[in-house]
Amino acid sequence: MKKILILLLIVSASLTAYGQRGLHIDQLFQGRIIPQERMVETKVRGKMVAKYQLSYFHSLRFEATASEVKRIEELLDKDRQTSYQRVESKKALTIMLQLQPQASLNRYLCFKRTGNGKHMQVVVIYMEGTLSSLDKMNEILK
């Protein structure tokens, strides 16, 4: 019986251990900061995103208040690992994070907010795959 329980735990752990889990921003992806009814969430894994040299793509798009945006930025700051790029203008703020590779896959976290004021448009993307850099993504998109 003990062996069956251990097997159960291993199987469930292997099924859940993927994606942005383990990062601070996971709270946002779990719907703990912005409820799912207020956002557009996209999850694509496999051949559909292979043309972007990705194996997993998980994005959120929503409108957020200044306090919500501030909280999200704090979480992103906690997740800063190998590479960090922040580009800010009056109209937009873009933060790009390159995370520690996991199982030979490169991982990226991108954040963009546009607009100033009470309601801002926010896009948060978690990506993983063989994509060597985010500059490479620009080349792919051209």
Partner 1 sequence: MTDNRLRMTDDGLMTADNERKIRVMAGRFLEGETSLEEERQLTDLCRHTQLPPDLLPLREMLLALESVGSGTDNMDVRADERQTAGDTPPAKSRNLFAKNRKWLAAAAAVVLLLAGGGTLLWHQQQNQCVAYIYGKRCTDQAVIMKEVYHQISEVSETDIGVEEQLNDMFGIN
Question: Where along the sequence are the contacts to partner 1 (CB under 8 A)?
Answer: 1, 4, 7-8, 11, 14-15, 18, 36-49, 52, 57, 59, 61, 85, 87, 89-91, 94, 96, 110-112, 123, 125, 134, 137-138, 141
Distance (Å) of CA 1 to CA 4, 6, 130:
5, 9, 41
- Closer Cβ to partner 1, 43 or 70, answer by number: 43
Q: How far is the CB of 103 from partner 1 (least distance, A)?
A: 14
Pick the closer one to partner 1 by CB: 120 or 137.
137
Q: What is the rounded distance in angstroms from the CA atom of residue 33 to the CA atom of residue 36?
A: 9
Question: CA-CA distance, 52 to 131, in Å (whole number)?
Answer: 7
54-64 vs 39-45, strand pairing mode: antiparallel
Provide, rounded to whole angstroms, the least separation between the CB of residue 75 and partner 1: 17
Q: Which is nearer to partner 1, 37 or 118 (CB)?
A: 37
Nearer to partner 1 by C-beta: 50 or 66? 50
Closest distance of CB 141 from partner 1, Å = 6
Closest approach, Cβ 30 to partner 1, in A, equals 13
Nearer to partner 1 by Cβ, of 44 and 105: the residue is 44
* Nearest approach, Cβ of residue 116 and partner 1 (Å): 10
